């Protein structure tokens, strides 16, 4: 679908279906457990797991910090749950109740700095929530990149771009967010922008913040654009 917006705003349309968006809607940093649930999980962990996972002297790695991120970045909480259920407690995996294992997942989220919320984590929803992190592949995830907008014929690209970072909001950055992005130094990445239908004169070589789904075609990195925000800093010619 092609649309024209007033006031010389670029029209970016993403053709990805609603399933692609919903898959990225929930992450563990959105308050997916309660403080009371995490406290219950801590009690279960202390009773059955802490002997092996406490340092020094433990026989298993601590499930916090870089170790947790490297193990579970981009994985769902179902994967975290299954890993715990099938390996813990040592010598008796699977011996706790399902609710106790879910509570342990909540405890690990709090241990790793993810905020609590108003609703308890439920077993049925574990597969719909991902663990964010710096590790793992970003392909097919919703990301934000900052770079210089360029056009060659019908092909739009973002050059001198920063590394992509995850975002949960497909909408354009707010003015306050743009003010924080504007001073960021440019990078060395290049992305082909998909679903870009038109732009007013003067935006070529403009520094912009683009959001969209990261994909690849061979060696070419692409962003299926959901929104764009112009920044005040022009790019060098």
Strands (E), 31-167: 142-152, 155-161, 165-166
Q: What angle do CA 60, 64, 67 make, to 5 degrees?
A: 70
Closest CA to 102 of 130, 124, 72, 123: 123
Domains of the chain are 11-23+141-234 (2.40.50), 28-128 (1.10.760.10)
Tokens of 53: 């996972």
- Tens-of-pLDDT digits for all 237 residues of the chain? 233 222 223 332 233 333 333 444 588 888 999 999 999 999 999 888 877 766 444 555 667 766 777 778 778 899 889 888 887 887 788 899 999 999 999 999 988 888 889 999 999 999 999 887 655 566 777 788 999 998 888 889 999 999 887 776 778 888 988 888 888 889 999 999 988 766 656 677 789 999 888 888 888 999 988 889 989 888 876
Beta pairing partners, 156:
151, 193
H or E segment at 70? helix 66-72
């Amino acid at each position: 679908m092609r649309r024209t917006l007033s006031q010389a705003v670029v029209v970016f349309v993403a053709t990805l279906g609603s399933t692609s968006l919903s898959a990225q809607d929930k992450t563990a940093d959105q308050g997916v457990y309660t403080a009371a649930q995490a406290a219950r999980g801590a009690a279960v962990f202390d009773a059955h797991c802490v002997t092996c996972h406490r340092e020094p002297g433990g026989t298993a790695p601590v499930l916090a910090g870089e170790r947790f991120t490297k193990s579970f970045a981009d994985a769902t909480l179902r994967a975290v749950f299954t890993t715990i259920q099938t390996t813990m407690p040592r010598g008796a995996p699977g011996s706790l109740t399902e609710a106790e294992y879910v509570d342990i997942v909540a405890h690990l989220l709090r241990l790793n700095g993810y905020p609590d919320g108003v609703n308890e984590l439920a077993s049925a929803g574990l597969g719909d929530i991902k663990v964010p992190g710096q590790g793992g592949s970003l392909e097919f995830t919703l990301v934000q990149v900052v770079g210089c907008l360029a056009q060659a014929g019908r092909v739009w690209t973002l050059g001198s771009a920063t590394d992509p970072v995850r975002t949960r909001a497909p909408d354009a950055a707010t003015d306050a967010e743009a003010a924080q992005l504007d001073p960021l130094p440019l990078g060395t990445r290049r992305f082909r922008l998909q679903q870009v239908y038109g732009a007013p004169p003067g935006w070529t070589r403009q520094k912009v913040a683009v959001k969209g789904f990261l994909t690849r075609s061979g060696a070419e990195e692409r962003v299926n654009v959901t929104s764009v925000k112009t920044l005040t800093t022009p790019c060098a010619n």
